[in-house]
Chains A and B, each alone.
Chain A
Amino acid sequence: MTKTITRKLLLFEPADILILISACFLTVWLYSTFWFDLSSVGEAETLLVQFADHSPKAYSLSEDQIINVKGRLGPALIEIKQRKARFIHSSCRNQFCVFHGWLSVAGDTTACLPNRVSISLKGTTNDYDAIAGAQ
Protein backbone atom coordinates (compact mmCIF):
# COMPACT_ATOMS: atom_id res chain seq x y z
CA MET A 1 0.00 0.00 0.00
CA THR A 2 2.76 2.44 1.08
CA LYS A 3 4.78 1.46 -1.96
CA THR A 4 1.83 2.19 -4.27
CA ILE A 5 1.37 5.67 -2.79
CA THR A 6 5.12 6.37 -3.03
CA ARG A 7 5.08 5.25 -6.68
CA LYS A 8 2.14 7.55 -7.42
CA LEU A 9 3.87 10.49 -5.72
CA LEU A 10 6.94 9.82 -7.82
CA LEU A 11 4.81 10.33 -10.92
CA PHE A 12 4.66 14.04 -10.01
CA GLU A 13 7.41 16.33 -11.14
CA PRO A 14 8.66 18.86 -8.55
CA ALA A 15 6.92 21.62 -10.54
CA ASP A 16 3.60 19.70 -10.25
CA ILE A 17 3.94 19.57 -6.47
CA LEU A 18 4.75 23.31 -6.42
CA ILE A 19 1.57 24.01 -8.41
CA LEU A 20 -0.47 21.82 -6.03
CA ILE A 21 0.87 23.66 -2.96
CA SER A 22 0.25 27.03 -4.63
CA ALA A 23 -3.32 25.97 -5.45
CA CYS A 24 -3.92 25.04 -1.80
CA PHE A 25 -2.67 28.44 -0.60
CA LEU A 26 -4.73 30.20 -3.30
CA THR A 27 -7.88 28.34 -2.21
CA VAL A 28 -7.39 29.37 1.42
CA TRP A 29 -6.71 32.99 0.41
CA LEU A 30 -9.74 33.18 -1.91
CA TYR A 31 -11.97 31.73 0.83
CA SER A 32 -10.80 34.12 3.51
CA THR A 33 -10.94 37.15 1.20
CA PHE A 34 -14.14 36.69 -0.78
CA TRP A 35 -16.25 34.03 0.93
CA PHE A 36 -16.02 35.18 4.55
CA ASP A 37 -19.46 36.36 5.59
CA LEU A 38 -19.57 39.84 7.15
CA SER A 39 -22.40 38.73 9.43
CA SER A 40 -20.16 36.29 11.25
CA VAL A 41 -17.55 38.85 12.24
CA GLY A 42 -17.47 40.95 15.33
CA GLU A 43 -17.22 38.44 18.16
CA ALA A 44 -15.79 40.37 21.09
CA GLU A 45 -13.06 38.94 23.34
CA THR A 46 -11.77 41.84 25.43
CA LEU A 47 -13.05 45.03 27.06
CA LEU A 48 -10.72 48.02 26.94
CA VAL A 49 -11.31 50.68 29.60
CA GLN A 50 -9.54 54.01 29.23
CA PHE A 51 -9.39 57.08 31.47
CA ALA A 52 -8.32 60.34 29.78
CA ASP A 53 -5.04 59.80 27.93
CA HIS A 54 -3.87 56.95 30.18
CA SER A 55 -3.14 53.59 28.59
CA PRO A 56 -6.27 51.45 28.28
CA LYS A 57 -6.68 48.48 30.62
CA ALA A 58 -7.89 45.20 29.15
CA TYR A 59 -10.40 42.85 30.78
CA SER A 60 -11.48 39.46 29.50
CA LEU A 61 -15.16 39.18 28.63
CA SER A 62 -15.18 35.57 29.82
CA GLU A 63 -15.25 36.65 33.49
CA ASP A 64 -18.38 38.42 34.80
CA GLN A 65 -17.32 41.33 37.00
CA ILE A 66 -17.89 44.96 37.95
CA ILE A 67 -15.02 47.34 37.31
CA ASN A 68 -14.66 50.55 39.32
CA VAL A 69 -12.85 53.32 37.44
CA LYS A 70 -11.91 56.68 38.91
CA GLY A 71 -12.99 59.34 36.43
CA ARG A 72 -12.47 63.11 36.36
CA LEU A 73 -15.78 63.76 38.13
CA GLY A 74 -15.89 60.63 40.27
CA PRO A 75 -16.33 56.88 40.00
CA ALA A 76 -17.70 55.00 37.02
CA LEU A 77 -18.92 51.43 37.34
CA ILE A 78 -18.66 49.13 34.34
CA GLU A 79 -20.29 45.72 34.30
CA ILE A 80 -19.14 42.69 32.31
CA LYS A 81 -21.83 40.03 32.08
CA GLN A 82 -22.33 37.17 29.61
CA ARG A 83 -19.60 38.51 27.27
CA LYS A 84 -21.19 41.98 27.11
CA ALA A 85 -20.22 45.23 28.84
CA ARG A 86 -21.98 48.43 29.89
CA PHE A 87 -21.76 51.45 32.15
CA ILE A 88 -24.04 50.91 35.16
CA HIS A 89 -23.08 54.09 37.01
CA SER A 90 -21.29 57.30 36.11
CA SER A 91 -20.65 60.53 37.97
CA CYS A 92 -21.76 62.64 35.00
CA ARG A 93 -24.93 64.73 34.74
CA ASN A 94 -26.61 63.44 31.57
CA GLN A 95 -25.86 59.69 31.98
CA PHE A 96 -25.66 59.20 28.19
CA CYS A 97 -23.01 56.52 28.80
CA VAL A 98 -25.40 54.55 31.02
CA PHE A 99 -28.28 54.98 28.53
CA HIS A 100 -26.08 53.51 25.80
CA GLY A 101 -26.70 50.08 27.29
CA TRP A 102 -24.78 46.94 26.40
CA LEU A 103 -21.81 46.74 24.08
CA SER A 104 -21.74 43.28 22.56
CA VAL A 105 -19.90 43.43 19.23
CA ALA A 106 -16.20 43.99 18.64
CA GLY A 107 -15.69 47.55 17.46
CA ASP A 108 -18.53 48.91 19.58
CA THR A 109 -17.55 51.76 21.83
CA THR A 110 -19.03 54.37 24.13
CA ALA A 111 -17.54 57.19 26.13
CA CYS A 112 -18.41 59.44 29.02
CA LEU A 113 -16.77 62.69 27.92
CA PRO A 114 -17.45 64.67 31.14
CA ASN A 115 -15.91 61.88 33.25
CA ARG A 116 -13.25 61.11 30.58
CA VAL A 117 -13.89 57.35 30.70
CA SER A 118 -14.35 55.29 27.55
CA ILE A 119 -14.98 51.61 26.98
CA SER A 120 -14.69 49.57 23.79
CA LEU A 121 -14.82 45.94 22.76
CA LYS A 122 -12.07 44.22 20.84
CA GLY A 123 -12.12 40.88 19.06
CA THR A 124 -9.47 38.77 17.48
CA THR A 125 -9.74 38.93 13.70
CA ASN A 126 -12.09 40.32 11.08
CA ASP A 127 -13.64 42.82 13.44
CA TYR A 128 -15.72 45.73 12.39
CA ASP A 129 -13.65 48.89 12.46
CA ALA A 130 -16.55 50.59 14.25
CA ILE A 131 -20.20 50.12 15.11
CA ALA A 132 -22.48 52.91 13.88
CA GLY A 133 -25.62 53.73 15.81
CA ALA A 134 -27.59 56.35 17.63
CA GLN A 135 -26.53 57.80 20.94
Chain B
Amino acid sequence: MQDILIENNKLSSNNSSITLDFGAFAKGVAIEQMMTILKKHNINNALVNAGGDLKVLGSKNGKPWKIGIKNPVGNHNPSEPAVIAAINLKDKETLFTSGDYERFFEIEGKRYHHILDPRTGYPAVGTQSVTILSEDAALADAASTALFIAGPDLWPDIAKKMGVQYVMLISDEKIYLTQAMAERIELFTETKPIIVK
Protein backbone atom coordinates (compact mmCIF):
# COMPACT_ATOMS: atom_id res chain seq x y z
CA MET B 1 0.00 0.00 0.00
CA GLN B 2 2.99 2.34 0.52
CA ASP B 3 3.46 2.44 -3.26
CA ILE B 4 -0.03 3.90 -3.75
CA LEU B 5 -0.54 7.65 -3.53
CA ILE B 6 -4.03 8.89 -2.62
CA GLU B 7 -4.43 12.58 -3.47
CA ASN B 8 -7.49 14.69 -4.32
CA ASN B 9 -9.67 11.60 -4.52
CA LYS B 10 -7.31 10.03 -7.09
CA LEU B 11 -5.03 7.01 -6.83
CA SER B 12 -1.63 6.86 -8.49
CA SER B 13 1.61 4.91 -8.26
CA ASN B 14 5.14 5.09 -9.61
CA ASN B 15 5.40 1.31 -9.38
CA SER B 16 4.32 -0.02 -12.78
CA SER B 17 3.79 -3.55 -11.45
CA ILE B 18 0.95 -2.40 -9.14
CA THR B 19 -2.55 -3.33 -10.21
CA LEU B 20 -5.74 -2.48 -8.35
CA ASP B 21 -8.74 -4.80 -8.27
CA PHE B 22 -12.04 -3.20 -7.25
CA GLY B 23 -13.82 -6.55 -7.30
CA ALA B 24 -14.93 -6.22 -3.67
CA PHE B 25 -17.56 -3.57 -4.46
CA ALA B 26 -17.28 -2.28 -8.05
CA LYS B 27 -19.83 -4.78 -9.36
CA GLY B 28 -22.35 -3.56 -6.78
CA VAL B 29 -21.80 0.07 -7.77
CA ALA B 30 -22.13 -0.87 -11.46
CA ILE B 31 -25.41 -2.72 -10.88
CA GLU B 32 -26.88 0.29 -9.04
CA GLN B 33 -25.90 2.50 -12.00
CA MET B 34 -27.54 0.04 -14.40
CA MET B 35 -30.73 0.22 -12.34
CA THR B 36 -30.69 4.02 -12.57
CA ILE B 37 -30.42 3.77 -16.38
CA LEU B 38 -33.28 1.25 -16.54
CA LYS B 39 -35.53 3.48 -14.42
CA LYS B 40 -34.64 6.49 -16.58
CA HIS B 41 -36.03 4.53 -19.54
CA ASN B 42 -39.22 3.69 -17.62
CA ILE B 43 -38.32 0.01 -17.27
CA ASN B 44 -39.99 -1.07 -14.06
CA ASN B 45 -39.57 -4.85 -14.13
CA ALA B 46 -36.10 -6.29 -14.69
CA LEU B 47 -33.44 -8.64 -13.39
CA VAL B 48 -29.80 -7.59 -13.81
CA ASN B 49 -27.49 -10.57 -13.36
CA ALA B 50 -23.77 -9.80 -13.25
CA GLY B 51 -22.40 -13.32 -13.20
CA GLY B 52 -24.27 -14.55 -10.13
CA ASP B 53 -24.58 -11.21 -8.32
CA LEU B 54 -27.90 -9.64 -9.14
CA LYS B 55 -30.59 -7.09 -8.45
CA VAL B 56 -34.26 -7.03 -9.40
CA LEU B 57 -36.78 -4.35 -10.22
CA GLY B 58 -40.51 -4.89 -9.86
CA SER B 59 -41.75 -8.41 -10.44
CA LYS B 60 -41.91 -11.18 -13.03
CA ASN B 61 -45.48 -11.02 -14.33
CA GLY B 62 -46.73 -10.05 -10.88
CA LYS B 63 -44.77 -12.76 -9.06
CA PRO B 64 -41.51 -12.38 -7.12
CA TRP B 65 -38.26 -13.29 -8.86
CA LYS B 66 -37.23 -16.87 -8.04
CA ILE B 67 -33.49 -17.19 -7.40
CA GLY B 68 -31.47 -20.35 -6.75
CA ILE B 69 -28.31 -20.05 -4.66
CA LYS B 70 -25.34 -22.09 -5.84
CA ASN B 71 -23.93 -24.79 -3.57
CA PRO B 72 -20.27 -23.90 -2.81
CA VAL B 73 -19.26 -27.53 -3.29
CA GLY B 74 -21.77 -28.40 -6.02
CA ASN B 75 -19.62 -27.29 -8.96
CA HIS B 76 -16.71 -29.55 -8.19
CA ASN B 77 -18.52 -32.47 -6.57
CA PRO B 78 -21.16 -34.05 -8.83
CA SER B 79 -22.73 -35.96 -5.92
CA GLU B 80 -23.72 -32.67 -4.25
CA PRO B 81 -26.77 -30.65 -5.40
CA ALA B 82 -25.89 -27.70 -7.62
CA VAL B 83 -28.32 -25.43 -5.78
CA ILE B 84 -28.32 -25.28 -1.99
CA ALA B 85 -31.17 -22.83 -1.41
CA ALA B 86 -33.81 -20.69 -3.07
CA ILE B 87 -35.19 -17.28 -2.26
CA ASN B 88 -37.84 -15.04 -3.77
CA LEU B 89 -36.75 -11.45 -4.37
CA LYS B 90 -39.02 -8.41 -4.30
CA ASP B 91 -38.69 -5.01 -5.95
CA LYS B 92 -35.25 -3.37 -5.46
CA GLU B 93 -33.76 -6.37 -3.65
CA THR B 94 -30.26 -7.53 -4.46
CA LEU B 95 -28.34 -10.73 -3.77
CA PHE B 96 -24.54 -10.82 -3.59
CA THR B 97 -22.27 -13.77 -2.88
CA SER B 98 -18.57 -14.04 -2.12
CA GLY B 99 -17.04 -17.50 -2.27
CA ASP B 100 -13.81 -19.41 -2.56
CA TYR B 101 -15.12 -21.91 -5.09
CA GLU B 102 -14.79 -20.20 -8.48
CA ARG B 103 -11.42 -18.46 -8.66
CA PHE B 104 -8.69 -20.47 -7.00
CA PHE B 105 -5.75 -22.78 -7.51
CA GLU B 106 -4.57 -25.64 -5.30
CA ILE B 107 -1.02 -26.52 -4.25
CA GLU B 108 -0.44 -29.65 -2.19
CA GLY B 109 -4.12 -29.87 -1.32
CA LYS B 110 -4.35 -26.27 -0.07
CA ARG B 111 -6.73 -23.90 -1.83
CA TYR B 112 -5.53 -20.41 -2.70
CA HIS B 113 -8.53 -18.28 -3.70
CA HIS B 114 -8.95 -14.65 -4.70
CA ILE B 115 -10.29 -13.06 -1.48
CA LEU B 116 -7.28 -11.89 0.50
CA ASP B 117 -7.30 -11.22 4.24
CA PRO B 118 -5.56 -7.85 4.73
CA ARG B 119 -4.40 -9.02 8.18
CA THR B 120 -2.28 -11.81 6.72
CA GLY B 121 -1.91 -11.05 3.01
CA TYR B 122 -3.08 -14.61 2.31
CA PRO B 123 -6.47 -15.92 1.15
CA ALA B 124 -9.05 -15.67 3.94
CA VAL B 125 -9.64 -18.99 5.69
CA GLY B 126 -12.66 -20.55 7.38
CA THR B 127 -15.46 -19.54 5.00
CA GLN B 128 -16.77 -21.15 1.82
CA SER B 129 -19.38 -18.57 0.89
CA VAL B 130 -21.36 -15.59 2.13
CA THR B 131 -24.62 -14.46 0.59
CA ILE B 132 -26.15 -11.07 1.43
CA LEU B 133 -29.65 -9.83 0.64
CA SER B 134 -30.10 -6.07 0.71
CA GLU B 135 -31.62 -3.18 -1.25
CA ASP B 136 -28.20 -1.58 -1.79
CA ALA B 137 -26.03 -3.54 -4.24
CA ALA B 138 -22.81 -1.68 -3.41
CA LEU B 139 -23.34 -2.36 0.30
CA ALA B 140 -24.22 -6.02 -0.33
CA ASP B 141 -21.11 -6.48 -2.50
CA ALA B 142 -18.79 -4.92 0.08
CA ALA B 143 -20.48 -6.73 2.98
CA SER B 144 -20.25 -10.16 1.35
CA THR B 145 -16.49 -9.71 0.97
CA ALA B 146 -16.03 -8.27 4.47
CA LEU B 147 -18.06 -11.03 6.15
CA PHE B 148 -16.23 -13.68 4.16
CA ILE B 149 -12.94 -12.40 5.59
CA ALA B 150 -14.46 -11.99 9.08
CA GLY B 151 -15.28 -15.71 9.13
CA PRO B 152 -17.69 -17.76 11.25
CA ASP B 153 -16.74 -16.14 14.59
CA LEU B 154 -16.63 -12.46 13.75
CA TRP B 155 -19.23 -12.03 10.98
CA PRO B 156 -22.25 -11.19 13.20
CA ASP B 157 -20.49 -8.11 14.63
CA ILE B 158 -19.34 -6.90 11.22
CA ALA B 159 -22.82 -7.47 9.79
CA LYS B 160 -24.36 -5.31 12.52
CA LYS B 161 -21.77 -2.57 11.99
CA MET B 162 -22.40 -2.57 8.24
CA GLY B 163 -26.17 -2.61 8.74
CA VAL B 164 -26.94 -5.83 6.85
CA GLN B 165 -29.79 -7.97 8.16
CA TYR B 166 -30.01 -10.83 5.67
CA VAL B 167 -26.93 -13.05 5.77
CA MET B 168 -26.13 -16.69 4.96
CA LEU B 169 -22.58 -17.87 5.72
CA ILE B 170 -21.37 -21.39 4.90
CA SER B 171 -18.32 -22.68 6.70
CA ASP B 172 -17.06 -26.25 7.08
CA GLU B 173 -20.44 -27.77 6.20
CA LYS B 174 -22.18 -25.50 8.75
CA ILE B 175 -24.79 -23.01 7.58
CA TYR B 176 -25.21 -19.81 9.58
CA LEU B 177 -28.27 -17.64 8.98
CA THR B 178 -29.45 -14.38 10.50
CA GLN B 179 -33.01 -14.61 11.84
CA ALA B 180 -34.21 -12.34 9.03
CA MET B 181 -32.58 -14.54 6.36
CA ALA B 182 -33.94 -17.73 7.97
CA GLU B 183 -37.46 -16.36 7.52
CA ARG B 184 -36.91 -15.74 3.79
CA ILE B 185 -34.73 -18.58 2.52
CA GLU B 186 -35.62 -22.18 1.62
CA LEU B 187 -32.72 -24.60 2.18
CA PHE B 188 -32.29 -27.82 0.20
CA THR B 189 -29.96 -29.57 2.61
CA GLU B 190 -30.38 -31.78 5.62
CA THR B 191 -27.84 -29.68 7.53
CA LYS B 192 -29.71 -27.83 10.26
CA PRO B 193 -28.83 -24.13 10.03
CA ILE B 194 -27.43 -22.19 12.97
CA ILE B 195 -29.63 -19.14 13.48
CA VAL B 196 -27.74 -16.08 14.72
CA LYS B 197 -29.78 -13.28 16.30
Residue positions of A touching B, CB distance < 8 A:
38-39, 41-42, 96, 99-102, 104-105, 107-111, 127-135
Contacts and interface: CB of A to CB of B under 8 A. Distances in A.
B70 interface: yes
Nearest to A127: B66
What's the interface size class on B, roughly?
35 or more
Secondary structure type dominating chain A contacts:
loop
B76 A132 contact: no
Interface stretch (B93-101, B154-162, B172-180): B93-101
Interface stretch (B7-15, B32-40, B46-54, B117-125): B46-54
A133 B70 contact: yes
Given A39-B188, A102-B75, A128 B51 contact: no
Contacts of A99: 102-104
Given A101-B76, A105-B68, A132 B51 contact: no
Contacts of A110: 51-52
A111 B54 CA distance: 14
Interface in B35-80: 47, 49, 51-54, 60, 65-70, 72, 74-76
B53 A132 contact: yes
Nearest 8 pairs of A and B residues by beta carbon: A134-B99, A133-B70, A128-B68, A133-B52, A135-B51, A101-B75, A39-B188, A38-B86
